Structure 1
């Protein structure tokens, strides 16, 4: 019988040609600039010249590494109708992680759980694990209520083939994509009524005293929720996936390794209860928007052409609460639509923290050792001292063991408490060679990097209908806090022994290594960003030219090097479905993040490296502020809740560029000098143009979301002090 592939990969050759041609041309321009800097004599003030030259080197390195992302862009198509029948499909364990019931409301978390319970997949092959890192009894009670509502909801989704299996999303538009017959409408009304009761139950639980908990000091807890009908043989629509509540032990004196530690506990607990060969990892706010995502992922995992070397299938993160303008670029379009699509043509995209189906065996780096016949005692040196867990390493899926045998289930649950204890990983290889990696708070980057270094590949699946939808940041402060955390973790990796340029180069193809290098070194954009937003402006104020004259041929080279990446990225945005407004917003937020999130992330990473500061992780708040959301949807920047740590440097730099631009233009009018200072004047103008919302926020806006007079005056004072010291420093050196 002819073999029919389960997926198809298409290489976009003409796009690759344009990307490569641009890379060679832009590289030639950069080499010309280096020649100019080396062949030109230093100016009277050598320090500004040197700082700008070093900034150009940093930007060139970061640009060169970023060019690898677009070297071989591909897209993939899946054929789920060619999969084997349901009884032959492998099991899937779903991991949902939550850490703080106050910042991550229970209703959103439970909607995510409900959405994956209704996946279009055999229920007897599906197990859902909720990790509650806060150990909140309110979350456990909410999950119990969720299981009872799910008996109605899951049956409804299967009977009417509902595509949006998140109740909140479905009930906001119940007729979307569904044949609205009389029976469907009647059942929908019943679901609405049941859902309102369910929401009320969660509200009551949330307002109870059980919300008070000690998130950093509590015992482990594992509970199998509900007792559904698991008889798949009769095809009953009341069949329910296995649902398990897991809260690992946390103590103040034991490192808990943030999300990676929670995921590794889920790996062990699920290994004992269901041991499915594939795992779906989701953040608590990232609900299933397409119940067929599991079957789409299996089109890759079960394809004989790539199955043996495939570690994970990454779906893009997409969001339901984006505005049409997306002023904070929270859609992450440049990551998924450009970078991940390009990496898919190499060894595969980087693991992105959520929305991926991963092979359990890939996380058990000891799997190759197991094949060599290690006995249980040897396995314990790697995997810890649980007899039940280590024996599960050589068994296939065994979910039946937790059904109908109360005594055995109770014994097994006691053992799960042991593997969820904070001391279980002592002297084992968890977080080092096994499971999710512990060397950074960005466990997704570290884990994906190690998997690729070990020879595994990954693929990027980006279907027309978003497989998962989540909640993203909708105000500037949360966006920058999130960016600071991410960039701190990325620079941790770059400064560690797992630096992609050192550890990865012998183990990865060059282009894949450059992609990892670019992401890990991305926080270093703060250095040229700060330098180019201040040094040319200071030099303009004191009359020092640092760029070629406008009449010089070298000025054309500089102009091309400036316009080239802007035009190239505009093309990238347009061919992936974006707009000119998207491109402009991306550049603005890149500047803002470079000055703030990249800078503070780099500082945090360096302090941790020096032992001055400990790693921390604060979940992004999922509670919606109506006033902030209104401004976001109207495309208006909200500076009200922004920390002074973020606003002061941004406003100070805007004021500095306003002063330098005004001074430069006035000087041109009075004494001339356009030929010498045109580059510096244009740079100040461009910075102000891109950051116009900041200018507007401190001058024209009078609403609560604007920049206060106090913040503006404080920033002006900092800018003045900076200018005085900088001018004095320039004259000395």
Structure 2
């Protein structure tokens, strides 16, 4: 059975992008005349349901992704057929990859290092069974047995040779169609365990993560598979707003898991390894990460503006630990990025996006989750738009950051950018007027932090004051950000 999320959107995506989504290979025979751009034979695209085929393998693909490797299903099945451990595998997960990435990863969406490091981890341990993974079901091949809500049982080892690959159909196609229509309705699931114990879990923006967690807590294992030829490809966001909204949805869903009965440290206690619980926890705490980030973006800069030193002087022995952490962290991060094929500018773009997401996407995710828990608002699933007009696409290819409209997220980001610019100018003025080098010695780390924030926000200064294209920030937002930054500086003084 092939499970597709958003079939209509998938069809529209296929037609608009001239791509060929690939279904699971049911009968093992492909059309020898159907080949991809590299001459590899494509299997037949067959849509079947569990009532028609009784298939034991389910391929789950997001509507904005398509298969890029005709052998991905066969490779995934190899894990399930492992004689020693295959019976305990619930799903095989592929990394997310995109076919529209710019050279320097403008919006930091390539996620290139994570899958590469996961692959290296498997090489080091020399044991693919040791590599369990968080389930983000954009691209997975999993067993119908694990998705049906069954718990893993060591005593019940089914042999793949005995599993039927299909079902003899005695009824007519018309009768079968009429019967299956009832199964496809939403009302069929009322008063059942669908969406609770069976199938994907509903009511959460990241249904893939919460479903994967529940499967692993039932005793099943998972495998992370990163083939040489990428298994699936899709479209990455082509504007800043799209990227921020996407991460707002992800972080909001993960934070909802943390505040629910499915909290990895409670629901997973005694069921999954502590390391895996902590792996889920990294994403569940995304939303809370906004507050320390906002603190470091705002208060050290305001203290620099007022001349208050927060860090040791450059001649103090306590200055060395700070510099060691800064140099070691960024040196390792840069070398790791370059080693995995990223450019230096791509690394810088990724640092910028992490800052922007932490100060907006994660903050809004936290607020919305609190409103949901208090009953003031209801959960909403916001789909990230991936279709852009020609002007936006052209600017994206030229790696020009796309703004184009005003939003609360842009108001926060623009105000923070102007605040740090004013604080850097004010701090430099204070150094020149109030003692020169002696003042600089005590404020050096704050100058370094504030200066880095100003450099990161260069695209915002361009969008606010210098750009003339449609992707610039509105003039009203430029005025608002300046007023907010000035007020913040005045408040810090008085």
TM-score by length of 1: 0.61
Q: 1:664 aligns with which of 423, 427, 444?
A: 427
Q: Which residue of 1 aligns with 2:4?
A: 96
- The CA distance in 2 between the partners of 1:533 and 1:727, in whole Å, is 18
Q: Which residue of 2 aligns with 1:80?
A: none
- The CA distance in 2 between the partners of 1:338 and 1:603, in whole Å, is 33
Shift of residue 616, structure 1, vs aligned partner? 1.2
Q: Which residue of 2 aligns with 1:719?
A: 485
Which structure has the bigger radius of gyration?
A: 1
Aligned pair 1:336/2:115, yes or no? yes
Residues 586-595 or 600-609, more deviating = 600-609
Shift of residue 497, structure 1, vs aligned partner? 2.0
Shift of residue 594, structure 1, vs aligned partner? 0.8
Q: Which secondary structure state, in structure 2, belongs to the residue aligned with residue 365 of structure 1?
A: coil
Q: 1:275 aligns with which of 44, 51, 54?
A: 54
Cα offsets for 1:656-694 (capped at 9, x unmatched): 111111111111111131222222121100111222222
Equivalent pairs counted in the alignment come to 480
TM-score by length of 2: 0.88
- The CA distance in 2 between the partners of 1:109 and 1:609, in whole Å, is 39
Structure 1 residues 644, 398: CA separation in 2 closer, same or farther (over 3 Å shift)? same
Structure 1 residues 457, 341: CA separation in 2 closer, same or farther (over 3 Å shift)? farther
The 8 Å contact of residues 91 and 141 in structure 2, kept in 1 or not, is answered as yes
Q: 1:354 aligns with which of 138, 155, 160?
A: 138
Q: Which residue of 2 aligns with 1:473?
A: 237
The 8 Å contact of residues 113 and 340 in structure 2, kept in 1 or not, is answered as no
Q: Which secondary structure state, in structure 1, belongs to the residue aligned with residue 285 of structure 2?
A: helix
Shift of residue 431, structure 1, vs aligned partner? 2.5
Shift of residue 513, structure 1, vs aligned partner? 1.6
Equivalent positions of 1:216-615 (< 5 A) are: 242-243=46-47, 270-338=49-117, 342=121, 346-366=130-150, 396-401=164-169, 405-406=171-172, 409-615=173-379
Q: Which secondary structure state, in structure 1, belongs to the residue aligned with residue 286 of structure 2?
A: helix
Residues 457-466 or 486-495, more deviating = 457-466
- The CA distance in 2 between the partners of 1:725 and 1:104, in whole Å, is 54
Equivalent positions of 1:208-223 (< 5 A) are: none
Shift of residue 639, structure 1, vs aligned partner? 1.6
- The CA distance in 2 between the partners of 1:319 and 1:597, in whole Å, is 21
- The CA distance in 2 between the partners of 1:596 and 1:708, in whole Å, is 19
Q: 1:649 aligns with which of 405, 412, 416?
A: 412
Q: Which residue of 2 aligns with 1:702?
A: 468
- The CA distance in 2 between the partners of 1:706 and 1:291, in whole Å, is 42
Q: Which residue of 2 aligns with 1:134?
A: none
Structure 1 residues 727, 487: CA separation in 2 closer, same or farther (over 3 Å shift)? farther
Structure 1 residues 419, 125: CA separation in 2 closer, same or farther (over 3 Å shift)? farther
Shift of residue 726, structure 1, vs aligned partner? 5.1
Structure 1 residues 441, 99: CA separation in 2 closer, same or farther (over 3 Å shift)? farther
Shift of residue 646, structure 1, vs aligned partner? 1.8
Shift of residue 499, structure 1, vs aligned partner? 1.5
Structure 1 residues 109, 302: CA separation in 2 closer, same or farther (over 3 Å shift)? farther
Q: Which residue of 1 aligns with 2:159?
A: none
Cα offsets for 1:334-384 (capped at 9, x unmatched): 443346865978551212222210111111223669x99xxxxxxxxxxxx
Unaligned 5+ runs, structure 2: 123-127, 157-161
- The CA distance in 2 between the partners of 1:427 and 1:414, in whole Å, is 22
Structure 1 residues 707, 675: CA separation in 2 closer, same or farther (over 3 Å shift)? same
Q: Which secondary structure state, in structure 2, belongs to the residue aligned with residue 577 of structure 1?
A: coil
Structure 1 residues 322, 399: CA separation in 2 closer, same or farther (over 3 Å shift)? farther
User: Over aligned residue pairs, what C-alpha RMSD do you find?
Assistant: 2.9
The 8 Å contact of residues 347 and 452 in structure 1, kept in 2 or not, is answered as no
Cα offsets for 1:183-211 (capped at 9, x unmatched): xxxxxxxxxxxxxxxxxxxxxxxxxxxxx
- The CA distance in 2 between the partners of 1:501 and 1:727, in whole Å, is 44
Q: Which residue of 2 aligns with 1:77?
A: none
- The CA distance in 1 between the partners of 2:371 and 2:8, in whole Å, is 26
The 8 Å contact of residues 54 and 166 in structure 2, kept in 1 or not, is answered as yes
The 8 Å contact of residues 93 and 137 in structure 2, kept in 1 or not, is answered as no
